[in-house]
Structure 1
């Protein structure tokens, strides 16, 4: 139990810190995907019949042109981002990084700002992939997640939560 407590502390080494960041990232990604697919399959209707999520999760599909999907994808992404980013900030502040370099609201704004930049850039890339190449909405979402994970870790580790 003491080893687990030490690993969960903010003073754990860089390797343990990265593992905790990755676990929280996976949880945050799950939250983002749940919100994204709820919106994409119900309100925004931007999943087509050939999408992975439609086939494997049996989500409802809609016959929508790529142009409409290219617009709805960033909207669903932005809304899911808001929910998952709040979740991620709270857990990272509690378990991964040592807060205190900035007052909490400035830290939160930097955290969200970095995430928003990464998400916006990745959403634009996803929209471009959809409109230019007709890729599946789910493939564009995977590209967004991988890109955002790398950029967010680097910015949070070396800019926002510097010890």
Structure 2
């Protein structure tokens, strides 16, 4: 016996459950701060893409204003260190942007006060940053270009961060 559907038009997606197909219902659920998981994940993805754009813009500024510093022609150890500096510099505004957009659009305040919440949010970001660093360094050692290593860094960070933020930072 199956569970009755909540919506007149929907699809069932593993993990996310029932997702409506009617535009008004989709919009209404996206407008809720603590809406269904599918809506939170979608908005988190939008915030993540925008935060990644902030990160990429700062790294691109390194390429534009210091091309010799970010050259793919440098020795691998120099490339790793220079990309680390660029990514860490970009991490600060990207993390602040991610915190405030997630707090505004995706999640309700959790069990922490503002400063503790931001601290835990940032701590999780730092952990994923260093995880991304390991992957980035491995990719550079394998001969991949900086842009691909930085992209893999951003994607791996986003996946780790959603789960940690949903269940640790903003959980009730």
Q: Is the pair's TM-score, using the shorter chain for normalization, greater than 0.5?
A: yes
Contact 2:110 2:171 in 1 (8 A): no
Q: Which has the higher contact order (CA 8 A, sep 6+)?
A: 1
C-alpha displacement of 1:7? 1.9
Q: Mind listing any 5+ residue stretches in structure 2 that lack a counterpart?
A: 1-23
Corresponding pairs, count: 148
Greater percentage in strand = 2
Contact 2:29 2:39 in 1 (8 A): no
Q: Is 1:154 the counterpart of 2:152 in the alignment?
A: no
Aligned partner of 1:39 in structure 2 is 62
Give the number of the structure whose alpha-carbon radius of gyration is greater: 2
TM norm structure 2: 0.79
CA deviation digits over 1:22-73, x for unaligned, max 9? 001111111110011112442472133xxxxxxxxxxxxxx42222111111
Secondary structure at the aligned position of 2:50 is classed as helix
Structure 1 residue ranges, 4+ long, deviating more than 4 angstroms after superposition? none
Q: Is 1:8 the counterpart of 2:17 in the alignment?
A: no
Q: Mind listing any 5+ residue stretches in structure 1 that lack a counterpart?
A: 49-62
Compute the RMSD of aligned alpha carbons. Answer: 1.9
